[in-house]
Each structure stands twice: as C-alpha cells, then as structure tokens.
C-alpha cells in the first residue's frame, strides 16, 4: 500500500495538466504528503496555478520557476526530495523539427541533468513520463524521447548501491493536451468553421486520461524495482471518430500527413517483445541488460505477477483490440470539460 506520509515530491514540467491532476488526486488520497514542488519555466502557468491553489488552502505546495537545462537551479529544487516525476519535455513535432538543438537541450540533456541531480540528492523514486512517439520514432521529438527513456533505464547501473530507482512510464495521447488533434478540433469547432482538417483519415491513436496517468505514477512509486518501462493498457481511437464526437456537422477534409507523422502510433515494438511482460492492467518492458543486481526475467515475472508476451507481439493503435466509439469519446470530452472549466 502506497504511503506518502511526510514525503516530498518534485514534478519537473509540473505546471501543466498532469501537474494539476496529480495535485488534486494526491492531496485528496494522501493528505499526509509533506510537500509537492512544481518546477517549470513557465511563470504564467505558475501564476495561474497559485491562483487556483492559494497558499492558505494548500500549504503543501511550492512553486519553483526553473528549467531542467539549468542544472544548478534543478539541484537546489531536488534537495530533500523523496520522489521525482520528470514531466518536462519539448513535445511539439513541428517545433522540434525546426529547432532540433533546443529539443536536444531539453529532452536529452535536461533528462541527464535530472538523473545527475537525483543521484547527487539520493532521491529514492525517480519516474520519467514518456510518449508513444518514443517507440519506433519517425520524428526528432520521438527520437529524443527514446534517448531519454534509455538514459533513465541505464541510470540504474550507476546508483553505486544507493537505494535509488529509475523507471519510465510510456503512454499515448492525453485528452486535452495543447497542440494535440483534440485541441485543434476543439478550437476549430469554437470558431464556427465548416471544415476540420485531417492529415489522414486512416489515422489512429492511443488515448489516456490524466487520471489514469496519475494512478500509474502512484503504482510505480510504490512498486518500481528500477529499469522498467511501464506501458498502461489503453483504448485506441480513430481520428475521424474524434472529429465526429467534437463537431458532427463539420466536413472532414484530408490534407495529407506531415513529415514525421505516423498513421498509427506504437507503444511496444516487436523488437521489444522478448523483454516485455503482461499483467492485467499494463505491460512492463524489463531492461535488455540487467541493472538490478542481475535480476532475472523470472524474478520480474514473479514480482509483478506477469507473463511473457508472444515473440511476435507489438502494441499498436491500429491493431489494438479495444477502440473508443463516438459515444464514449463524447462522454470523455464532457468529463474533461467539466473538470477543467468548472468553477472551483
């Protein structure tokens, strides 16, 4: 049973939707947590969150303006921290392709800074949030995320016997994320246009809510051995169904794929099948090389009550066995709007 009493939690890139949801759920379910530190470089989002969570009502919260590129500032934020959740990333495909050096500085060098600071400050639980774009990447953003994933997995090899555990959670599109197709469709619908642009009508994506991501983070804090990439099971959706759910009267216009864009997203490649275990609720990719005192595949299986997947297994949004419908998408959109825009 997860116990966060008197724990200090740091979230890099924590001023976004994940940070807000994590605060709400964690303070509700684990009122004994001592401190949650929100660390990001967006001072306007900090201001919005401080207004949303006033100090008198939420004395556990701290807001640090800082960048994961700034190792000295990050080191200061890490002092006394028990759990570190790394959510800071440069994630827009177009911006990453046009500004590759900036993407590398944040997604790769920033990740290495997080690892170095966690080791120096002896932070016991370190969890990096990743993306389906990191699996079989077709863009610089995806490639940088893949490198970040591998850095966090390999970090378990340099703990020097310290009680420090690095793991990754890789998941699909989060409903409502700015810059996503959901956000684009919602904005077009609000403007009252007649058409919605779709790059390819065959396109499918994985879908997950911030609630599910937070639940997975809590699970990993409690259970992680170190070196795992956790992949929660989630439904897929057809982009055409999402468009219909948001704006049923608007015409769908196919405009062609952008460079680096895939028709379907993958979460586990076939090349990872030999290292992948399955539980009821998630998959776990164990280290290709054993970093945890030569922990065997069988020991991971026993610990997580998991079974190996078939050798030809891969987890793709177009071959998934579970798909959202227009009706279920509408219900999820309604809940998202109620949560994000209701009066607090």
- What residues are annotated to the active site? 133
Residue among 24, 14, 30 at smallest CA distance from 62: 14
Say if CB 65 and CB 41 are below 8 A apart. yes
Of the candidates 76, 77, 88, the one whose C-alpha atom is nearest the C-alpha of residue 19 is 88
Query: Nearest 5°: CA angle at 50, between 46 and 51?
Result: 120
d(CA 262, CA 93): 11
Give 64's DSSP letter.
Answer: E
Q: Where are the beta strands (DSSP E) in 150-224?
A: 165-171, 173-174, 195-198, 204-208
Instruction: Report in angstroms the alpha-carbon separations of 343 from 37, 49, 151.
Output: 24, 14, 41
Within 8 A by CB and 6+ apart from 212, the residues are: 171, 232, 234
The rounded distance, in Å, linking the Cα atoms of 88 and 107 is: 8
Extract the tokens encoding 19: 């940070």
Asked if 143 contacts 97 with a C-beta cutoff of 8 angstroms, the reply is no
Q: Decide: residue 266, CB within 10 A, 0-12 exposed, 13-18 middle, 19+ buried.
A: buried
- Token couple for 136: 């079989």
């Amino acid at each position: 049973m997860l116990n966060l009493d008197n724990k200090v939690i740091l979230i890099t890139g924590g001023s976004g939707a994940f940070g807000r949801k994590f605060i709400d759920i964690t303070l509700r379910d684990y009122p004994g947590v001592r401190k949650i530190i929100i660390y990001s470089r967006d001072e306007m989002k900090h201001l919005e969150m401080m207004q949303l969570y006033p100090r008198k009502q939420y004395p556990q919260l701290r807001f640090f303006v800082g960048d994961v590129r700034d190792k000295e500032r990050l080191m200061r934020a890490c002092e006394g921290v028990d759990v570190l959740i790394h959510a800071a990333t440069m994630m827009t495909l177009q911006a990453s392709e046009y500004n590759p050096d900036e993407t590398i500085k944040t997604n790769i060098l920033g990740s290495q800074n997080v690892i170095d600071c966690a080791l120096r400050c002896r932070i016991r639980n370190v969890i990096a949030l990743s993306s389906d774009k990191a699996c079989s990447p077709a863009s610089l953003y995806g490639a940088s995320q893949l490198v970040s994933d591998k850095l966090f997995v390999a970090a378990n090899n340099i703990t020097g016997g310290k009680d420090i555990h690095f793991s990754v959670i890789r998941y699909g599109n989060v409903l409502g994320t700015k810059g996503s197709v959901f956000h684009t469709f919602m904005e077009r619908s609000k403007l009252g246009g007649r058409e919605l642009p779709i790059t390819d009508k065959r396109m499918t994506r994985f879908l997950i809510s911030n609630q599910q991501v937070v639940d997975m983070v809590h699970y990993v804090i409690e259970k992680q051995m170190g070196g795992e990439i956790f992949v929660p099971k989630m439904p897929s959706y057809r982009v055409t169904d999402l468009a219909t759910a948001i704006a049923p009267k608007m015409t769908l216009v196919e405009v062609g794929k952008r460079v680096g864009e895939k028709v379907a997203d993958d979460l586990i490649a076939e090349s990872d099948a030999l290292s992948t275990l399955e539980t009821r609720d998630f998959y776990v990719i164990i280290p290709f090389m054993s970093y945890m005192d030569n922990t065997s595949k069988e020991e991971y299986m026993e610990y997580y009550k998991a079974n190996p997947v078939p050798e030809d297994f891969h987890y793709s949004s177009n071959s998934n066995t579970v798909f959202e419908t227009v009706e279920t998408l509408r219900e999820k959109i309604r809940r998202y709007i109620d949560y994000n825009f209701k009066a607090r």
